[in-house]
Amino acid sequence: MTPLRAEMIKQMQLHRFAPSTQEAYLSAVRGLARFYRQSPERLTPRLIQEYLHHLLHKRKLAWSTCNIAINAFNFLYLKTLKWDACRLDLPRCKLEKKLPEVLSPQEVERLVTSPSNPKHRALLMTTYAAGLRVSETVHLQVTDIHSQRMCIRIRQAKGHKDRYCMLSQRLLVELRAYWKLARPRLWLFPGEDHKRPLDITTAQRVYYKAKQEAGIKRGRGIHTLRHCFATHLLEAGVDPRTLQVLLGHRSIETTMRYLQVTRHQALSVPSPLDLLSLPDPLPQP
């Protein structure tokens, strides 16, 4: 490990970056070093900008991916190498604003019940029933299921905060049946090595397989189940502030975007065309 890499890791740890963020930043810096075949500390601001232009227009990477690279370079040069902020002028890509894809309750029912493996079935049900991020689901411990209080404890979620989520009565039945078969000790959903939790990539594969078996075309990764949780609760009448707490959102604005995909408000308004007194369609010639 080079001294620069070690120093960057130390600085990210001091800033309490999540392991996934640290890996994403290191990956972006590795790409920069490989592109020029020299240490990043020897590069000029112009060369860094040329590399970002290469990512955007030659490799045609998504804006969100380029933003991660920009954040990584800002951290490397401003926080680790202590460059002056005026020296490094990196543009911020404008993010595309896409609404989350949401499945119907009937589609979710088909998806979470399609696995024949009790562990996979319980994994998908837990993610949807509590509206969890996949990282939160796989890091659940057996002791995090509080059946008497009917809640689930989420340890050190995004933003390094603990929170409690609802525990569905139906989910509790499923988890008890799963526990009797698998008898997990520490991790609720252990990996092949029972001392470690299930890998996120494995959880994604479980979701994609269940989606295929259920014959569902919409919905991207397993995070779709969290989108479904939020949207279905809003449609059931839960207020956004309560939903914000359940989802663990820092800002209410993040939660409010789900209002754009609910059926009961915008989609229930009649079209102005329906308010006109129009004649019947013309007969076929």
Residue range 78-98, pLDDT digits in tens = 999 999 888 888 877 666 666
Strand ranges for 32-149 from DSSP E: 145-146
pLDDT computed for residue 282 by the predictor? 64
Residues 115 and 67 in one domain: no
pLDDT tens digits, one per residue of 32-44: 999 999 999 999 9
Measure the CA–CA gap between 27 and 68, rounded to whole angstroms.
Answer: 10
Q: Do residues 88 and 45 touch, judged by C-beta distance below 8 A? A: yes
Residues 176 and 248 in one domain: yes
Catalytic residue among 79, 158, 209, 257: 158
Mean pLDDT computed over every residue of the chain: 87
Q: Are residues 135 and 173 in the same domain?
A: yes
Q: Is the pLDDT of residue 133 over 80?
A: yes
Domain co-membership, 74 together with 197: no
Res. 265: pLDDT tops 60: no
Beta pairing, strands 151-157 & 145-146: antiparallel
pLDDT of residue 200: 93
Asked whether the beta carbons of 234 and 240 are under 8 A apart, the reply is yes
Q: Is residue 258 annotated as a catalytic residue, yes or no?
A: yes
State the total domains in the chain. 2
Q: Which of 139, 163, 227, 249 is catalytic?
A: 249
Q: Is the pLDDT of residue 244 over 90?
A: no
Give the domain extent around 116.
105-266
What mean pLDDT comes out for the span 96-105?
78
- Which position has the higher pLDDT, 180 or 86? 180
What pLDDT sits at residue 158? 73
Q: Which residue in 110, 119, 153, 223 is the catalytic one? A: 223
Q: What is the mean pLDDT of residues 166-181?
A: 93
Q: What is the pLDDT of residue 65?
A: 86
Residues 135 and 51 in one domain: no
Find the helix or strand (DSSP H, E) in which 161 lies: strand 161-166
Residues 207 and 125 grouped into a single domain: yes
Catalytic residue among 77, 178, 207, 258: 258
**Predicted local confidence at residue 261, as pLDDT:** 63
Q: What is the CATH number of the domain that holds 55?
A: 1.10.150.130
> Is pLDDT above 70 for 209?
yes
Catalytic residue among 133, 139, 163, 227: 133
pLDDT at 220: 85
Sheet of strand 145-146, all strands in order from the earlier edge strand to the far edge = 145-146, 151-157, 161-166
Residue 249 known to be catalytic: yes
Is the confidence at residue 264, as pLDDT, over 60?
A: no
Domain shared by 63 and 140, yes or no:
no
From the candidates 120, 226, 227, 232, give the one annotated as an active-site residue.
226
133 has catalytic annotation: yes
pLDDT for res 263? 56
pLDDT band at 110 (very low <50, low <70, confident <90, very high): very high
pTM for the full model?
0.71
- Give the residue-averaged pLDDT of 220-239: 89
* Percentage of the residues of the chain whose pLDDT score is greater than 90: 59
Judge whether 154 lies within some domain.
Answer: yes
Tell me the backbone φ, ψ of residue 266, rounded to 5 degrees: -65, -40
